[in-house]
């Protein structure tokens, strides 16, 4: 299976090769091209050559959220995509029902009156916005903000500990989060064992997002392209 980072590497190599062949020097001042659009164009070329890429690819949004609202929307998008819309009858060790990643008790604590199975995306966004405000993610730079917010949604107390211990180092932060999952699964395998691989996959998705932004911005700085700010 083609990994997402393999895809990113191949796209960036394609762009570098194209520029080298054209012998064109592009600078921020002279180029009107949007790096996100160029990246997408190259991505389509890679997809066309390799069906596995198209089969396994994630939608790569390389825009950088600069305002709090844009940052919240982008972080929320990641969380909701990972949580999905399916009703979960017994979520983790809580034995409660959840939907869109929100437990029945959490929804009620934030003012939702109905059954969690009927919660809408709009209802969920209102709850997540309050969690966003509580988490402190708005004060963090992207992509650390999405890593911390996603962790806070999973465990507020643990996420604060991860942030303090990691001192903002994303790799350390995610390593601490993975260690917590492994400990939970080993301590209570009958409850948490079945969730371990899914938890690890979520961490991998965060690592992929972080790496994509680092590579894209690094390439943008070296090539003169720019990544869109939103």
Q: What is the DSSP string of 67-108?
A: SHHHHHHHHHHHHHHHH-S--EEEEGGGTEEEETTEEHHHHH
Residues near 225 by beta carbon (within 8 Å), at least 6 away in sequence: 26, 31, 33, 34, 35, 38, 219
Average pLDDT over residues 3-10: 52
98/115 same-domain check: yes
Q: For 44-54, b where at least 16 C-beta lie within 10 A, e where not — what string?
A: eebbeeeeebe
Q: What is the pLDDT of residue 14?
A: 54
Q: Which two tokens stand for residue 54?
A: 């198209």
**Predicted confidence (pLDDT) at residue 2 exceeds the cutoff of 70:** no
Considering the domain boundaries, does residue 108 fall inside one? yes
When mean pLDDT is compared across 8-12, 110-114, 170-174, 216-220, the lowest value belongs to 8-12
State pLDDT tens for residues 174-196.
999 999 999 999 999 988 898 89
The reply to whether 100 and 159 lie within a common domain is yes
> The sheet that has 96-99: what strands, in order across it?
88-91, 96-99, 102-103
Q: How confident is the model at residue 171 (pLDDT cuts 50, 70, 90)?
A: very high
Confidence of residue 217 (pLDDT cuts 50, 70, 90): low
Task: Give residue 52's domain range.
Answer: 4-64+214-223
The band of 111, judged by pLDDT with boundaries at 50, 70 and 90, is: very high
- What residues are paired with 102 via a beta bridge? 99
Domain membership flag for residue 184? yes
In-domain check, residue 123:
yes
**Statement to judge: residues 40 and 145 lie in one domain:** no
Q: What is the pLDDT of residues 127-138, one digit of tens each?
A: 999 999 999 999
Residues 86 and 140 in one domain: yes
Claim to verify: residue 189 and residue 96 sit in the same structural domain: yes
- CA dist 33 and 226 (Å) reads 8
Look at residue 226 and tell me whether its pLDDT is greater than 60. no
Q: What tokens were used for 186?
A: 């080993």
The size of the chain, in residues, is 230
For residues 222 and 230, what is the distance between their CA atoms, to the nearest angstrom? 21
95 and 34 in a single domain? The answer is: no
pLDDT of residue 24 exceeding 90 = no
Return the SS3 of 64.
strand
Backbone dihedral angles phi then psi of residue 91, each to the nearest 5 degrees? -90, 110
Per-residue confidence (pLDDT) for residue 184, from 0 to 100: 93
Instruction: Identify the band that residue 123 occupies on the pLDDT scale cut at 50, 70 and 90.
Output: very high
Query: How many independent structural domains does the chain possess?
Result: 2
Give the mean model confidence (pLDDT) for residues 6-32: 48
Give, in degrees to the nearest 5, the angle at Cα 67 between 61 and 72: 65
3-state SS, residue 118: helix
Does residue 84 share a domain with residue 25?
no
Residue 58: pLDDT over 50: no
Claim to verify: residue 8 and residue 44 sit in the same structural domain: yes
Q: For the residues 13-27, what does the mean pLDDT come to?
A: 49
Please report whether residue 164 resides in a domain.
Answer: yes
For the domain that residue 141 is a member of, what is the CATH number?
A: 1.20.141.10
For 5, other C-beta atoms within 10 Å of its C-beta total 14
In a domain, 96, yes or no: yes
In the predicted model, what is the mean pLDDT of residues 32-46?
50
Residues 84 and 167 in one domain: yes
Does 208 score more than 60 pLDDT? yes
* Residue 149 covered by a domain: yes
The answer on 142 and 43 residing in a single domain is no
Asked if residue 187 is part of any domain, the answer here is yes
128 and 79 in contact (C-beta within 8 Å)? Answer: yes
Q: Is residue 229 domain-resident?
A: no
Is 26 in the same domain as 106?
A: no
pTM: 0.71
Integer Rg of the chain from CA? 20
Residue 41 sits in the same domain as residue 145: no
């Amino acid at each position: 299976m083609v990994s997402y980072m393999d895809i990113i590497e191949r796209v960036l190599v394609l762009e570098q090769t194209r520029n080298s062949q054209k012998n064109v020097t592009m600078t921020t001042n002279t180029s009107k091209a949007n790096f996100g659009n160029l990246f997408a164009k190259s991505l389509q070329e890679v997809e066309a050559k390799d069906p596995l890429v198209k089969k396994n690819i994630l939608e790569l949004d390389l825009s950088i959220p600069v305002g709090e609202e844009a940052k919240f929307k982008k972080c929320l998008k990641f969380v909701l995509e990972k949580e999905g819309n399916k009703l979960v009858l017994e979520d983790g060790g809580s034995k409660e029902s959840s939907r869109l990643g929100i437990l029945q008790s959490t929804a009620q604590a934030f003012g939702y009156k109905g059954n969690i199975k009927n919660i809408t995306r709009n209802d969920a966004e209102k709850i997540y916005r309050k969690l966003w405000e509580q988490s402190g993610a708005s004060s963090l730079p992207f992509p650390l903000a999405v890593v911390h917010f996603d962790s806070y949604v999973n465990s507020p107390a643990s996420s604060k500990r991860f942030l303090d211990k990691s001192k903002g180092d994303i790799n350390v932060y995610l390593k601490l989060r993975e260690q917590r999952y492994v400990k939970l699964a080993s301590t209570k395998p009958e409850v948490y064992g079945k969730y371990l691989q899914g938890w690890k996959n979520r961490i991998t998705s965060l690592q992929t997002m972080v790496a994509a932004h680092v590579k894209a911005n690094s390439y943008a700085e070296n090539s003169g392209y720019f990544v869109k700010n939103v």
